[in-house]
Amino acid sequence: MGIALPSLIFSVAECLPRRSRVEETFTETTVTDAKSETGVITEYKPRTIHVLFDDGIVQEFDLDTYVLGVVLGEMPVDFELEALKAQAVVARTYALKRNTTGKKHKDGAVCIDPGCCQAYCSQESFLEQGGTSTSVQKVINAVKSTEGQVLTYQGKLIEATYFSCSGGKTEDAVAVWGTEIPYLQAVDSPGEENADCYWDTVVYSSKDFAARLGLKNTGTPASWFGAVAYTEGEGVDNMVICGKVIKGTTLRTKLGLRSTAFTIKTDGDNIIVTTKGFGHRVGMSQYGADAMAVNGSKYKEIFFHYYPGTTLQMHT
């Protein structure tokens, strides 16, 4: 859920975002498997995963040893068990998808940069940094109880993108990456209001704001802003600023905003931007998953809510 791994593990307040890119699917073979909900399952061969560390070294891990480390690194361990289970299935699916397409890193490796692939924290590192053996066992239970389970769409592993907090509604993939994906559509995500990253406010001077966007600093800031178009997920699709139409995703990047779900107002020479949520908001909201679990939803209900139309199948 962020940029710096140590702060991820214990601090819910960090609320850092996921930024997984959408890539193409893979070529598969099918086999019959009594454990599959459909009876037909793609044969995903890898039981190990190649992991690229920050020092450039690639190590081979047992799949679920890796998934355990991802859950420890990506989701606060005080979240509900059902949310941790959902995270385990999503992390496993994401890693196998990367392994199969092989388009991000050599040999289909996944790196430990959460801004690129997925965070990773070993049990040893978790304990060294103050985590408890009880918390580790809780995550082990989440991984083991979902062992082998992956999410597919029409027989292919899904793009299992996820992020920290939606701000109340997730986003369509097409609004963020320009690619329409049937199972990555905007859905409501209630119950996140108590997350520390639900709201955020940033104040810019007019000079700083204009410089970030490459605009001519002319006139009063109150006169700069025109029409706003919104996405299905209630983010900013585009906004007219100083006569220029600027994409919401561009504004998020250049202004360093937490999400595209934002509003802008002016106060004299200052420009005040308030955002809801944290991350690209496509796929599963981690805080939304926990809210659903708190309200009694099981892990399957969670990911079927965030990835509508997908199927739970067994990795072989």
Tell whether 31 and 69 lie within a shared domain: yes
- Average pLDDT value over all residues in the chain: 85
The pLDDT confidence band at residue 103, using thresholds 50, 70 and 90, is low
Tell whether 262 and 288 lie within a shared domain: no
**What pLDDT shows up at residue 102?**
60
Tell whether 111 and 246 lie within a shared domain: no
Tell whether 266 and 309 lie within a shared domain: no
**What pLDDT shows up at residue 48?**
86
Top-confidence residue, 35 or 272: 272
Tell whether 43 and 135 lie within a shared domain: yes
**What pLDDT shows up at residue 49?**
86
Asked if the model's pLDDT at residue 3 lies above 90, the reply is no
Is position 92 within any domain? yes
Tell whether 137 and 149 lie within a shared domain: yes
**Pairing status of strand 149-153 against strand 156-157:** antiparallel
Are the beta carbons of 7 and 164 closer than 8 angstroms? no
Task: Give per-residue pLDDT as tens, 36-56.
Answer: 343 333 434 458 888 889 888
Task: Give per-residue pLDDT as tens, 151-187.
Answer: 999 999 999 999 999 999 999 999 999 999 999 999 9
Least confident of 12-21, 185-194, 200-209, 259-268: 12-21
**What pLDDT shows up at residue 257?**
98
Question: In terms of Cα–Cα distance, which of 211, 259, 209, 249 is closest to 229?
Answer: 249
Tell whether 136 and 227 lie within a shared domain: no
Tell whether 158 and 306 lie within a shared domain: yes
pTM: 0.84
Tell whether 171 and 97 lie within a shared domain: yes
**What pLDDT shows up at residue 46?**
52
Tell whether 235 and 123 lie within a shared domain: no
- Tell me the residue type at 138: K
Asked if the model's pLDDT at residue 242 lies above 60, the reply is yes
Is position 192 within any domain? no
The total of structural domains in the chain comes to: 2
Asked if the model's pLDDT at residue 88 lies above 60, the reply is yes
Task: Find how far residue 115's CA is from the centre of its chain.
Answer: 9
Is position 93 within any domain? yes
Cβ contacts of 206 within 8 Å, gap of 6 or more? 217, 221, 269, 270, 271
Is position 53 within any domain? yes
Is position 300 within any domain? yes
Least confident of 70-74, 101-105, 155-159: 101-105
**What pLDDT shows up at residue 252?**
98
Q: Which domain holds residue 297?
A: 5-180+280-314
Is position 193 within any domain? no
Task: Give per-residue pLDDT as tens, 219-241.
Answer: 899 999 999 999 999 999 999 99
Question: In terms of Cα–Cα distance, which of 4, 35, 312 is closest to 153?
Answer: 312
Tell whether 23 and 157 lie within a shared domain: yes
Is position 187 within any domain? no
Tell whether 161 and 208 lie within a shared domain: no
